[in-house]
Structure 1
Amino acid sequence: MVDTGFPPFDTTIDKTNHVLKQIEQAYGWSKDQRNLSYHALRAVMHTLRDRLPVDEAAQLAAQLPMLIRGIYYEGWDPSRVPVKLNREQFFDRVRQEFPYDVEGGPEQLAHTVPLALREHISDGEWQDLKSTLPRELVGVLP
């Protein structure tokens, strides 16, 4: 447990570390490779965020741990979304933002990251999220 002296910060750092650790475990990465799990989280979350309508993107963000919410919103321009992406374009975008080779490629990455975040998202929001995506992208989410 981190001790910043401010409990809300300690909690969000712990939750973020837990999510990053789940991504690392899915790929067999060590804690020394934390930059990979961070970049994976960022790439998938930014691609998903930009594909969603503004209201749905904000509703999803509201359920994320505070630190992950900051990563999610970093660089966001709500006037430029949603970006229409088909399945191939979605994975190409993840690949552009995460330029490392990983087992299963961007398809597996796009499955692993939301799975690591799933415990922070209510069932209702998860269903809303899936119902907002086009049919060919619904299968991306676990």
Structure 2
Amino acid sequence: MASNIYSTFQSSIEKTNLILADIEQAYGWPPDRRDQSYAALRTVLHLLRDRLPVEESAQFAAQLPVLVRGVYYDGWNPTDVPIKLNRDDFLYEVRQGFRYDVDGGAEGVVRTVLNALRRHVTEGEWEDVRASVPRDLSPIIP
């Protein structure tokens, strides 16, 4: 049993590192800039999470690697969601949470992070997420 738990966590660490590496690769960052890829991941996850209805948010999170799921739920208060933000306000919040200058700005950060996450979520769930966000946000979700 203990080796099974270890295997689950080891797999989650490997998948999380793949997600962070995908973000780094998209920007050409070396692995020693892991703090930036983590900041991008955390910021986008929290903003997406807070825009989704509780049930959809939980269904999406269930498909994420365990470690990423922990980041996703960190600080979440399901009684306060979904928070309504238009596209401009959403991108403003991305800039507030991710204060690094990158090509493509806040919208590029959202696309990059979501592209990295998309490989770990079924197509059906991804479409559910796209359908659940406000209409003016769906164009920036790959």
TM-score by structure 2 length? Answer: 0.95
Q: Name the residue aligned to 1:62.
A: 62
Aligned counterparts of 2:98 and 2:134: Cα–Cα separation in 1: 23
- Give 1:133 shift: 1.4
CA deviation vs aligned residue, 1:18-40 (integer Å, no higher than 9, x gap): 00000000001000000000000
Q: Say which SS state the counterpart of residue 137 (structure 2) adopts.
A: helix
- Give 1:16 shift: 0.2
Aligned counterparts of 1:131 and 1:115: Cα–Cα separation in 2: 17
Q: Equivalent pairs: percent with the same residue?
A: 55
Unaligned runs of 5+ in 1: none
Cα RMSD for the two superposed structures: 1.0
CA deviation vs aligned residue, 1:70-105 (integer Å, no higher than 9, x gap): 000000011111100100011011111111111111
1:48-87 correspondence runs (5 A): 48-87=48-87
- Structure 1 residue ranges (4+ consecutive) displaced by more than 4 angstroms after TM superposition: none
Aligned counterparts of 1:12 and 1:47: Cα–Cα separation in 2: 22
Q: Name the residue aligned to 2:95.
A: 95
Unaligned runs of 5+ in 2: none
Amino acid at match of 1:127: E
Q: Name the residue aligned to 1:39.
A: 39
Q: Say which SS state the counterpart of residue 57 (structure 2) adopts.
A: helix
